[in-house]
């Protein structure tokens, strides 16, 4: 796809002798909502970690907004407009909700961007629970609230692409409904989202396009609606009726 916001080509990631990602091609177009599904240990998180510069790539290229970002340090990738809400939330537990949000806007604050306060307000509108908890330590929040905070913190950097790792981890279905509703809303408003998700049914229901990862390789990809009806996906990830 020419004009892709994100284009990953031939990505390989290894941890010592363990090849976690073995030649992945993946694209996200402007305004697209794309998911990556696969079993535990398939390599989904490793793709995202390489994307945001947390894990080095062994091979391959990553173009974002027309620029090669493979191997760049995380803070430079973030400044280009790619934000990650990490698996396990990655929030600062001793800091308040407010402080966590401002840390997400750190680069903008340093650059003297005066719109940060309005964007913090915007995220509190998306997640009203965070407004109620604004001055509480993040460590005291519930799991669902911490996930909201991780997403809100990524959003205040005003990314062009939001990457979300395992939003569902350990959360109750009602909380997941809320979180996925907000992600869908953000996407309808034009934000491109790359969602790595273990609950395939959730991912397929909300996204436009999906990649299936097995043992570090993409084995299937296509419109989420098509994959949700594919017998191979149903058998492996959705559970036979």
Q: Which residues of the shown chain bind ligand ATP in the complex (CB under 6 A)?
A: 15, 18, 20, 38, 40-46, 198
Nearer to ligand ATP, 5 or 167 (CB): 167
Tokens standing for 193?
């989202």
Nearer to ligand ATP, 44 or 108 (CB): 44
- Min dist. Cβ of residue 44 to ligand ATP (A): 4
> For residues 80 and 39, what is the distance between their CA atoms, to the nearest angstrom?
31
Looking at the chain, list the stretches that DSSP marks H as alpha helix, in order from N- to C-terminal side.
Answer: 44-51, 74-79, 97-104, 106-110, 116-126, 128-132, 143-155, 173-188, 200-206, 224-228, 231-233
Tokens standing for 108?
């903008």
Nearer to ligand ATP, 24 or 102 (CB): 24
- Min dist. Cβ of residue 184 to ligand ATP (A): 22
Contact in structure between 21 and 13 (CB atoms under 8 Å): yes
> For residues 209 and 56, what is the distance between their CA atoms, to the nearest angstrom?
26
- Min dist. Cβ of residue 212 to ligand ATP (A): 11
Nearer to ligand ATP, 145 or 197 (CB): 197
Contact in structure between 200 and 238 (CB atoms under 8 Å): yes
- Min dist. Cβ of residue 59 to ligand ATP (A): 16
Nearer to ligand ATP, 51 or 156 (CB): 51
Q: How many CB atoms lie within 10 A of CB 73?
A: 10
Tokens standing for 81?
């407009």
Tokens standing for 124?
């509190």
Q: How many CB atoms lie within 10 A of CB 104?
A: 29
Nearer to ligand ATP, 51 or 183 (CB): 51
- Min dist. Cβ of residue 37 to ligand ATP (A): 9
Half-sphere exposure of 208 (CA within 13 A, CB side): 15
- Min dist. Cβ of residue 39 to ligand ATP (A): 7
């Amino acid at each position: 796809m020419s004009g892709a916001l994100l284009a990953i080509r031939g990505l390989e990631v290894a941890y010592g002798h363990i090849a976690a990602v073995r030649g992945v091609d993946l694209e996200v177009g402007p305004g697209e909502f794309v998911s990556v599904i696969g079993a535990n240990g398939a390599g989904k998180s490793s793709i995202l970690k390489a994307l945001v510069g947390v894990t080095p790539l062994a091979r391959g290229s990553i173009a974002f907004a027309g620029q090669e970002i493979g191997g760049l340090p995380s803070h430079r990738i973030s400044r280009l407009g790619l934000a990650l809400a990490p698996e396990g939330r990655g929030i600062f537990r001793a800091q308040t909700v407010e402080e966590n949000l401002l840390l997400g806007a750190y680069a903008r604050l340093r650059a003297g961007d005066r719109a940060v306060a309005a964007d913090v307000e915007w995220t509190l509108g998306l997640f009203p629970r965070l407004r109620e908890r604004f001055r509480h330590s993040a460590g005291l929040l519930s799991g669902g609230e911490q996930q909201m905070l991780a997403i809100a913190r990524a959003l205040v950097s005003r990314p062009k692409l939001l990457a979300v790792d395992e939003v569902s981890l350990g959360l109750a279905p009602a909380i997941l409904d809320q979180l996925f509703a907000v992600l869908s809303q953000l996407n309808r408003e034009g934000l491109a989202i790359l969602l790595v998700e273990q609950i395939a049914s959730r991912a397929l229901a909300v996204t436009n396009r999906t990649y299936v990862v097995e043992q570090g390789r993409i084995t299937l990809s296509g419109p989420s609606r098509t994959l949700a009806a594919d017998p191979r996906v149903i058998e492996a990830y959705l559970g036979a009726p």
